[in-house]
Structure 1
Amino acid sequence: MNRDVFNAIADPTRRSILMSLTSESQHVNALADKFDMTRQAVSLHIKYLQECGVITIKKEGRERHCSLEIQKLTEIADWLEPFRKMWTGKFNQLDTLLDELQSKPKKEL
């Protein structure tokens, strides 16, 4: 099955695993300890993330260390960019309107 970066972030557990890997690579058991599910369930999520290409797994002795593949995640940022621009424009319009409203003299009652 062909999986992509959007499949990786579709599940909250997988998003949490990715967030856990932002600061440093971690071994599978350390990641599994952070979740209220079986190690097997976490391992399946990790395998899924690997198939999506957003993490790599390096075997060191008996441990498997997971590392984030930042470059692959740029696909998400690239896809979101038009929406970011749209919202930035909307917020700028709101700022302009608020500035105009604040600069108008207040009518006394």
Structure 2
Amino acid sequence: MTGHFAELQILPESVQTFMRPLYAFRRRNGPPFIGDCMSKEELIEFEGTVVELLPNATFRVKLENDHEIIAHTAGKMRKNRIRVLTGDKVMVEMTPYDLTKGRITYRFK
């Protein structure tokens, strides 16, 4: 055999497995630090009403507990072209780290 892999055949098997490419390791074991990401169970859900339409597909939403937050539409809502207008009742997901911003995940009919 010719090429770059010709010298691998003469190495012991333990060395050959050690010389596995880095991309093969990541593909088999997933991306690094996946356990450090916040899980979806930690999100807080509220119902609210859209009060104002803001630029860049963001909205001012008044929650049931009379707090006002800035929210943007979730990717699936954008993908399926679900329109959100002033006065619509929506479901908002918020992270406990920033209670002033959220993501609109559902528009009630």
Bin of the TM-score, shorter chain as denominator length: under 0.3
- TM-score of the superposed pair, with normalisation by structure 2: 0.24
- TM-score of the superposed pair, with normalisation by structure 1: 0.24
Structure ranking higher in helix proportion: 1
- Name the larger-Rg structure: 2
Structure ranking higher in strand proportion: 2
